[in-house]
């Protein structure tokens, strides 16, 4: 009887595993196909048909075309610069805010916290036009400022940081303050060094968000010279439609590469931080 | 009291001290609230104000409610609302149950759990712009991967994005592919948070795994489904990027893909009709607000 049960369990395991493998293959297939077309010499003239996952005529020709154009490099640099500045601003502001909401005692704390949470509900789309006019009036269109500056508000980051600091005991603060440390010193010398895990989470979430950001940069960065990776991709795609499959797929591959490499190395932390965002208290 | 050693100070200096401490805390919050003031409060009020003006960014004339009248009287607006809701509705209807079933399966297998998590989550980390570019080719009617597979399986092929009758389903497929990993990760985290004692107790009562899934797992996941529903609607109502790549701001073919945000973009930055675009923005904002309140009430999610 126990033997039977074990056999059945094993069978269930195998069936589940096979089903999952099939679904996983469907999910991953678009990436494999993308890479395959990008290495196909003839793909710009004719998309290989019937579709294959191994290119008929293997060649790095499409990548040579993409590199020759050179705009991909400046797009990478622009994306890197904008993302770096935004991440620094967001993470710093989120840690400071989260700390204050967790450890602070001050007037209006509850109300202010609700205001911060409410900001998450107000999408960039609802602010697109006034923000555009504002930066236009300041003469900052077609610079990176309008992309970077609004990052300073990171409501979800403040929320996550508060949750984290709530778990660190108050006794550390009391000890530091008996020694006469100011609130800022306590934060930077006692709590910030302990905030490694939450900082990593915030950096990852903020990095992915900013690297893939599209709508707002599209509005304020008209000059091609300033285009970030998603903007460059979209403008290439709009110009060429479904022609030039080889080049399009080489570009797509190049554009997803950094984030996929990052994901492969940090997947445990990325998945953890996403899971954290949806966990109830 | 904060400090253990409290000098018998007079009331005046103690008030000064708490005042000073409050100011310090406000300084911690300064960056965030500077951001809220400049990039949320001002723009939201300005959007509202602009919606009553005829404006191209430089010249403004007061027109009262006429922008709203024009927008609400236009079929383009209602078409955009319909498209936005249609795509979001079917995305949620399919992605949440499928994602939950996959998460339950991953949760049950003993090995390779993290491998599947990584594989399923991969689409979610890629930019939606790149994903849309890939799908443009996958859904290509003659040489695309999708129709080839359907054909090989003996199923009916579809013109997908090249026909207004089916184009929305092409986008729905893309959004499900892109979002399902998120659904799976959130479901998995919450599946693991269900107390194992519940399962042990029911096992003693002789419940089968399927019974456990229906009567323990699903009821315990209500909060998770509510969270996914709200997140899904909020992001679904803001849909723009994939539309823009696949069909431009107009959402071609024949506006069958144009979403509300695409319409705002088209009016605001294509035609520089800031007043009209602001009126659409305010309406979009109201819809998001109403929907979120409705969803919160419906699902009784505690935030």
User: pLDDT (tens digit, 9 = 90+) per residue, B269-278?
Assistant: 988 899 999 9
For B119-138, the pLDDT digits (tens) are: 999 999 999 999 999 999 99
Choose from A6, A91, A117, A130 for mutation: most chain B CBs within 10 A: A130
A247 in B contact zone (CB under 8 Å):
no
CB-CB neighbors (< 8 A) of B175 in chain A: none
CB atoms closer than 10 angstroms to residue B250: 18
Choose from B20, B31, B183, B210 for mutation: most chain A CBs within 10 A: B31
Average pLDDT, chain A: 90
The pLDDT > 90 percentage for chain A reads 58
B106 in A contact zone (CB under 8 Å):
yes
Per-residue DSSP letter, A58: B
Q: Which two tokens stand for residue A238?
A: 């709009």
Predicted complex: ipTM over 0.85: yes
Q: Does A27 sit within 8 Å of B268, measured CB to CB?
A: no
In angstroms, the separation between the Cα of residue B292 and the nearest Cα of chain A is 9
Band of residue A153 on the pLDDT scale cut at 50, 70, 90 = very high
pTM for the whole structure? 0.91
Given a cut of 80, whether residue A264 has pLDDT beyond it is yes
Q: Does A278 sit within 8 Å of B123, measured CB to CB?
A: no
Environment class of residue B1 by beta-carbon count within 10 Å: exposed (0-12), middle (13-18) or buried (19+)? exposed
Whether the Cβ atoms of residue A216 and residue A67 lie closer than 8 Å to each other: no
For A61-118, the pLDDT digits (tens) are: 999 998 988 889 999 999 999 999 999 999 999 999 999 999 998 989 999 999 998 8
Whether the Cβ atoms of residue A116 and residue B275 lie closer than 8 Å to each other: no
In angstroms, the separation between the Cα of residue B43 and the nearest Cα of chain A is 5
Band of residue B301 on the pLDDT scale cut at 50, 70, 90 = low
Sign of CA dihedral A83, A88, A92, A95: positive
**DSSP secondary structure, B114-165, as one string:** HHHHHHHHHHHHS-HHHHHHHHHHHT-TTT-HHHHHHHHTTPPP--GGGSTT
| B126/A178 Cα distance (integer angstroms) | 49
Q: Using CB atoms, pick whichever of B50, B148, B302 lies closest to residue A50.
A: B148
Q: Name the least confident of A230-239, A265-274, B257-266.
A: A265-274
Q: Which two tokens stand for residue B245?
A: 């790549």
CB-CB neighbors (< 8 A) of A131 in chain B: 39, 43
């Amino acid at each position: 009887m126990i033997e039977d049960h074990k056999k059945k369990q094993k069978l269930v395991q195998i069936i589940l595993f096979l089903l999952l493998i099939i679904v996983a293959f469907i999910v991953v297939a678009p990436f494999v196909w993308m890479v395959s077309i990008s290495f196909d010499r003839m793909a710009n003239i004719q998309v290989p048909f019937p579709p294959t996952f191994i290119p008929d005529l293997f060649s790095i020709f499409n990548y040579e075309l993409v590199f020759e154009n050179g705009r991909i490099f400046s797009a990478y640099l622009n994306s890197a610069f904008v993302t770096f500045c935004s991440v620094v601003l967001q993470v710093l502001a989120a840690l400071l805010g989260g700390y204050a909401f967790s450890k602070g005692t001050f007037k209006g704390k509850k109300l202010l916290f609700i205001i911060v949470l409410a900001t998450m509900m107000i999408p960039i789309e609802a602010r697109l036009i006034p923000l555009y006019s504002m930066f236009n009036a300041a003469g900052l269109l077609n610079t990176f400022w309008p992309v970077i500056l609004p990052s300073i508000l990171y409501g979800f980051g403040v929320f996550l940081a508060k949750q984290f600091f709530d778990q660190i005991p108050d006794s550390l603060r009391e000890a530091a303050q008996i020694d006469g440390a100011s609130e800022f010193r306590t934060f930077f010398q006692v709590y910030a060094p302990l905030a490694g895990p939450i900082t990593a989470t915030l950096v990852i979430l903020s990095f992915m968000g900013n690297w893939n950001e599209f709508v707002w940069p599209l509005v304020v960065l008209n000059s091609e010279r300033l285009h970030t990776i998603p903007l460059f991709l979209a403008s290439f795609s709009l110009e060429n439609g479904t022609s030039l499959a080889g080049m399009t797929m080489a570009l797509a591959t190049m554009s997803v590469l950094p984030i996929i490499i990052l994901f492969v190395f940090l997947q445990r932390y990325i998945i953890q931080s996403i899971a954290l965002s949806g966990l109830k208290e | 009291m904060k400090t253990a050693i409290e000098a018998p100070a007079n009331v005046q200096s103690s008030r000064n001290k708490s005042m000073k401490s409050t100011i310090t805390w406000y300084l911690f919050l300064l960056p965030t609230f500077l951001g809220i003031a400049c990039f949320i409060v001002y723009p939201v009020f300005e959007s509202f104000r602009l919606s009553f003006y005829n404006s191209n960014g430089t010249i403004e004339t007061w027109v009262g409610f006429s922008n709203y009248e024009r927008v609400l009287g236009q079929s383009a607006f209602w078409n955009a609302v319909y498209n936005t809701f249609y795509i979001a509705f079917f995305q949620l209807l399919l992605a949440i149950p499928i994602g939950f079933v996959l998460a339950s399966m991953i949760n049950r297998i003993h090995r390779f759990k993290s491998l599947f998590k990584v594989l399923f989550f991969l689409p979610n980390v890629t930019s939606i712009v790149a994903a849309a570019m890939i799908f443009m080719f996958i859904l290509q009617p003659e040489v695309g991967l999708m129709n080839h597979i359907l054909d090989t399986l003996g199923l009916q092929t579809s013109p997908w994005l090249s026909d207004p009758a089916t184009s929305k389903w092409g986008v729905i497929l893309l959004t499900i592919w892109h979002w399902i990993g998120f659904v799976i990760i959130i479901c998995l985290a919450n599946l693991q948070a269900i107390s194992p004692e519940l399962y042990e107790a029911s096992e003693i009562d002789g419940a089968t795994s399927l019974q456990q899934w229906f009567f323990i797992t699903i009821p315990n996941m209500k909060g998770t489904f509510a969270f996914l529903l709200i997140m899904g609607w909020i992001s679904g109502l803001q849909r723009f990027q994939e539309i823009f790549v696949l069909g431009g701001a107009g959402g071609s073919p024949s506006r069958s893909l144009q979403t509300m945000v695409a319409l705002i973009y088209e009016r605001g930055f294509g035609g520089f009709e800031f007043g009209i675009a602001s009126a659409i923005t305010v309406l979009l904002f109201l819809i998001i607000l109403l929907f979120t309140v409705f969803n919160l009430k419906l699902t009784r999610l505690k935030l």
